[in-house]
């Protein structure tokens, strides 16, 4: 069941990015996360900061927030341009080489490929709070609110562009609770399932 491409979708604070990076290192394949942001910025002409903010997050916390975006004569918003470029780049990367791709609806974009392993990483709120406080030095009074807000915007963005529910197990081959298994065990499981 060898899989060339591994997509990692994740809740904020669950360690999905760290898991993806370690999987890529263990398998000796390319890793795309921040690098993907740079490629999308080059392709669209938008700043990396803009891509980081709007390439994976909705402009608001509900689907209607997309109704208020400015649109060109072609009917596309800036977020639509980012989505179009993001899809193109993710498909090109998957065609080019074995890799791990974190976020950016890659599981949906590559859903028809049989050489992919789609993973969703989640954790209980207390584990995510503990992680962002210790790892990122998060000092927000209510880190739970920040976690919920970021994940809500990811969820709305995913729903808007894919017409699917973010985090729903049917969209992935594997759902892992990093708070229960830990980062290393999650990496082990993914590497084992990838077939190397």
> pLDDT for 110-149, tens place per residue?
999 999 999 999 999 999 998 888 876 656 677 888 899 9
How confident is the model over 49-74, as a mean pLDDT?
A: 65
Alpha-carbon gap, residue 59 to 79, rounded angstroms:
9
Give the per-residue pLDDT at 135.
76
pTM of the model: 0.88
> What domains lie within the chain, and their CATH numbers?
5-194 (3.40.50.300)
pLDDT above 60 for 25: yes
Contact 158, 164 (CB under 8 A): yes
Tell me the average pLDDT across 82-86: 89
Return the ∠ at Cα 111 (arms to 12 and 71), rounded to 5°.
70
SS3 sequence of the chain: CCCCEEEEEECCCCCHHHHHHHHHHHHCCEEECHHHHHHHHHHHCCCHHHHHHHCCCCCCCCHHHHHHCCCCCCCCCHHHHHHHHHHHHHHHHHHHCCEEEECCCHHHHCCCCCCEEEEEEECCHHHHHHHHHHHHCCCCCCHHHHHHHHHHHHHHHHHHHHCCCCCCHHHCCEEEEHHHHCHHHHHHHHHHHHCC
Question: In the predicted model, what is the mean pLDDT of residues 150-167?
Answer: 92
CA-wise closest residue to 3 among 22, 37, 27, 25 = 27
Higher pLDDT, residue 72 or 181 = 181
- Per-residue model confidence (pLDDT) at position 60: 63
pLDDT at 46: 83
pLDDT for 170 beyond 90: yes
What pLDDT score was predicted for residue 1? 47
pLDDT interval class at 101 (50, 70, 90):
very high
Q: Does the pLDDT of residue 66 top 80, yes or no?
A: no
What average pLDDT does range 9-23 have in this prediction?
A: 96
Structure token pair of residue 152? 């809500």
| Mean of per-residue pLDDT scores for the chain | 87
31 versus 71: the higher-pLDDT residue is 31
pLDDT score at 62: 60
* Adjacent-strand bridge partners of 10: 121
């Amino acid at each position: 069941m060898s899989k060339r491409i591994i997509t990692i979708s994740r809740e904020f604070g669950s360690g999905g990015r760290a898991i993806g990076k370690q999987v890529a290192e263990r398998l000796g394949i390319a890793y795309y996360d921040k690098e993907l942001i740079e490629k999308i910025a080059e392709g669209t002409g938008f700043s990396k900061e803009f891509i980081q903010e709007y390439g994976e997050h909705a402009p608001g916390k509900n689907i209607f927030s997309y109704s208020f975006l400015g649109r060109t004569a072609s009917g596309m918003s800036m977020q639509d341009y980012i989505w179009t470029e993001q899809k193109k780049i993710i498909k090109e990367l998957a065609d080019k080489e074995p890799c791990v791709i974190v976020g950016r609806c890659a599981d949906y974009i590559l859903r028809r490929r049989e050489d992919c392993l789609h993973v969703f990483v989640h954790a209980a709120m207390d584990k995510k709070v503990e992680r962002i406080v210790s790892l990122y030095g998060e000092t927000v009074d209510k880190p739970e609110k920040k976690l919920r807000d970021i994940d809500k915007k990811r969820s709305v963005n995913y729903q808007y562009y894919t017409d699917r529910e973010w985090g729903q197990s049917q969209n992935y081959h594997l759902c892992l609770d990093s708070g229960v298994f830990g980062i290393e065990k999650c990496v082990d499981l993914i590497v084992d399932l990838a077939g190397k």
